[in-house]
Amino acid sequence: MKTITIITPSNIEIEYKLAGVGSRLAAFIIDTILQLLATLLCAGILLGINHQLSDIVRISTLLAIFLVLSFVIHFGYFIVCELTMNGQTVGKMLFGLRVIRDNGQPIEFTQALIRGIIRSTLDAMYVGLFVILFSKKHKRIGDMAAGTIVIIEKYDNKYEAAQSMQDHNIPDFIPPLENMTPQERAVIENWLRRRHKLPDYGMEIGVKIAEYFRLQTVCKLNNGRLQVAPTNTENITES
């Protein structure tokens, strides 16, 4: 699996796993199915109200409305999802993928629009699929034009989540997740979920979390295992 190291605007190095063609294609298939279902739903609704229109305007009006709705669903689905779901669609969320900018920051309207336009044109002819195969950063044409990459951020277990903190330069003295209290684990998991929405990938809060464990966590050795005494994480949770 390919990785890429990005230097954020604040000169913080972050390593990401790049999404390959397989996971991206699978996510795209899920999204396409959802688009198809939404289109069929619209068609069903229009057919249900067709009796309210006169015979003269019925066919032309319904066809015009259906074409407009189909365009909105096809073109707007990815743009709306990637903006409202912070770089994800339903398919990407299911496979643990996210779109970010080349500098590690969340995508904005401009990047989502460029990706959407090219997805509906060049990439609609499966050109993007072949480009991903030969791109060092697994980019399709829309990614190249918008300055974005697609990363993997799904953690299959708590050890991968803990490894993510090490990958993102969080100090080593944070204890293993299995040795934390439920509230402390909730803080870590919340940070992992929210970091894409925060400046510099949430590093400021990550440092606060690390400082909390360094200053407030009392560790003791018990039967050869490191135990973490319960402490107050309320301030970190509210960050």
C-alpha to C-alpha distance for 99 and 87, rounded to whole angstroms:
5
Given 152, 176, 198, which residue is the final one in a domain? 152
Question: Are residues 72 and 144 located together in one domain of the fold?
Answer: yes
Question: Are residues 195 and 147 located together in one domain of the fold?
Answer: no
Task: Pull the structure tokens for residue 35.
Answer: 């688009």
**pLDDT at residue 157 in the model:** 44
Give the Å distances, CA to CA, from 131 to 98, 99, 104, 124, 163.
19, 17, 22, 13, 31
Spans in the chain with pLDDT lower than 50? 156-162, 168-169, 171-173, 217-239
Task: For residue 58, give the DSSP letter.
Answer: H
**pLDDT at residue 201 in the model:** 61
Given 152, 170, 189, which residue is the final one in a domain? 152
**pLDDT at residue 48 in the model:** 76
For the chain, percent of residues with pLDDT exceeding 90: 34
Question: Are residues 211 and 187 located together in one domain of the fold?
Answer: yes
Question: Are residues 111 and 164 located together in one domain of the fold?
Answer: no
Question: Are residues 175 and 147 located together in one domain of the fold?
Answer: no
Question: Are residues 95 and 17 located together in one domain of the fold?
Answer: yes
Instruction: Note whether 170 and 206 are within 8 A (CB).
Output: yes
C-alpha to C-alpha distance for 38 and 32, rounded to whole angstroms:
10
Give the domain range for residue 206.
158-237
Question: Are residues 68 and 147 located together in one domain of the fold?
Answer: yes
Whole-model pTM: value is 0.67
